[in-house]
Amino acid sequence: MNNSEKLEEIIGYTFKNKRLLEQALSHSSYANEKKHSLQSNERLEFLGDSVLSIVVSEYLYTHLRSVAEGDLTKLRASLVCEKSLHVFAEEIHLGKFLLLGKGEENTGGRERPSILADAFEAVIAAIYLDGGMDAARKHILHFMPKDIGQSAKPVFDDFKTVLQEVVQKNPEEKVEYVLIGEEGPDHNKRFVVEVMLNSQVIGKGKGRSKKEAEQLAAKEALELMGYETR
């Protein structure tokens, strides 16, 4: 049994198009080293993010009928954030199956939360393209907390959502996240993001992924506004 077959056994889904699974597991560092027709999982990650969001939204809407929209938004954010996706990825030992370039391999890429979270979304997209929404939904719902109906409290903080809710109290205000720089080599890159309120910088964050940098920028903005983030 090869690696792909082992992963298929773990997730309970067998791909008709094996190349979709290979692409989902291929980090950009691996695709760049191979320099042939193999694509990285970045485009699949983009699609998987949307599929994940709609499945989780539908699930929460159906199972938490008495929960207000604002709390549903927070709970969804907690379930689809990088920290949660990292946990889900570890449940299926996804790091063992990733295809990484030598640089990422030598610097702990298999355990890096941002890489695992992105690959988890890519696998969702691969299942969706191979087997349709029902197959993707079945896969995603396997990771939903069994006691979700007993509590609507988010599992993890999502600073971007909280900041957006604070800003929405004044409809004329607008929040925007701007990538202002990248630091370090490809296998250990850091992204620098500023969060702006009506063109004024109110926070800055640096992280291993754009998502993490945006969260940290929002966290700093909330702290500067006097909100407790711990």
Query: Dihedral of the CA atoms 219, 77, 163, 166 (nearest 10)?
Result: -150
CB atoms within 10 A of CB 89: 22
Catalytic-role residue among 45, 49, 158, 220: 49
3-state SS, residue 173? coil
Instruction: Indicate if 121 belongs to the active site.
Output: yes
Contact 224, 203 (CB under 8 A): yes
Task: Judge whether 105 counts as a catalytic residue.
Answer: no
Spell out the alpha helix ranges (H) of 12-112: 18-25, 28-34, 42-63, 69-80, 82-91, 102-106
Which SS3 state, helix, strand or coil, does residue 13 take?
A: coil
Task: Give Rg (Cα) of the chain.
Answer: 19
Query: Between helices 210-224 and 113-131, what is the axis angle to 10°?
Result: 120
Among the listed residues 145, 123, 141, the one whose alpha carbon sits nearest the alpha carbon of residue 7: 123
Residue owning tokens 């792909």:
4
**Catalytic, out of 45, 82, 104, 121:** 121
Catalytic residue numbers read 49, 121
